[in-house]
Structure 1
Amino acid sequence: MESRHLSVVIRRDPREVAAFARDPQHLPEWAAGLAEGGLRDDGDALVVESPMGEVRVRFAPPNPFGVLDHDVTLPDGTTVQNPLRVLAHPLGAEVVFTLRRLEGVTADAFEADARAVAADLERLRGLLER
């Protein structure tokens, strides 16, 4: 399984970045690949309207380490684990998303996913640095 780490440096305190990125109300603002809107809580999960249809998202419990890992359960029932970290960086925070190429995903589709994640991370930077 191929993995790719995509990252962006944001000139803000890592705790502020993690808090903003974790807040479900902000997901539609920056995570276009995950949330288009229509968020609702459902127990320990968040139900989100996404480009893939309705998905369930479960974040790692709040923690002081910047771990924002989340599982996304797709409409077909497949659950995808998404490592997402906010790390301290000399200029502020570095946000690192690990994209994994799942079985059956073509190279072109993987590249398209990587471009979409990079765009999401840039939107996050833009929101937090403005």
Structure 2
Amino acid sequence: MESRHLSVIIRRDPGEVAAFAGDPRRLPDWAAGLAAGEPRVDGDVLVVRSPMGEVRVRFAPPNDLGVLDHEVTLPDGTAVHNPLRVLPHPLGAEVVFTLRRLDGVTADAFEADATAVAADLERLRSLLEA
């Protein structure tokens, strides 16, 4: 399984970045590759519309370490673990997303996913640095 780490430096305090990025209600503001429209809560799961259809997102419990991992359950029932970290950086915070190429995903589709994640991270940076 191929993995790729995508990251962006955000000139804000890591705690502020983690609080914003880890707020499920803010997901549609910056993670267009995952969420669109108004999310709804179903227990400890966030249900959102996505380009793939309706998905269920379960986040790691709130923590002070910048761990924003989340599991996305796709419309076909496949669950994908997405590591997401907010790390201290000399300029503020570095947000790192690990993208994994799942079985059956073509190289072109993996590249498209990487492009979408990079755009989402850039949108997050733009929102937080505005």
* 2:30 corresponding residue in structure 1: 30
* 1:86 corresponding residue in structure 2: 86
* 1:57 corresponding residue in structure 2: 57
Amino acid at match of 1:74: L
5+ residue gaps in structure 1? none
Runs of 4+ in 1 over 2 A off after TM superposition: none
* 1:71 corresponding residue in structure 2: 71
TM-superposition CA deviations, 1:15-70 (whole Å, max 9, x none): 00000001122111100011011311101101111111110000000000000000
* 1:17 corresponding residue in structure 2: 17
Q: Percent identity?
A: 83
Question: SS of 2:38's equivalent?
Answer: strand
Correspondence 1:40 to 2:17? no
Shift of 1:129: 0.2
TM-score, structure 2 length as denominator?
A: 0.99
Correspondence 1:122 to 2:106? no
Measured in 2, the distance between the counterparts of 1:53 and 1:121 equals 21
Shift of 1:10: 0.1
5+ residue gaps in structure 2? none
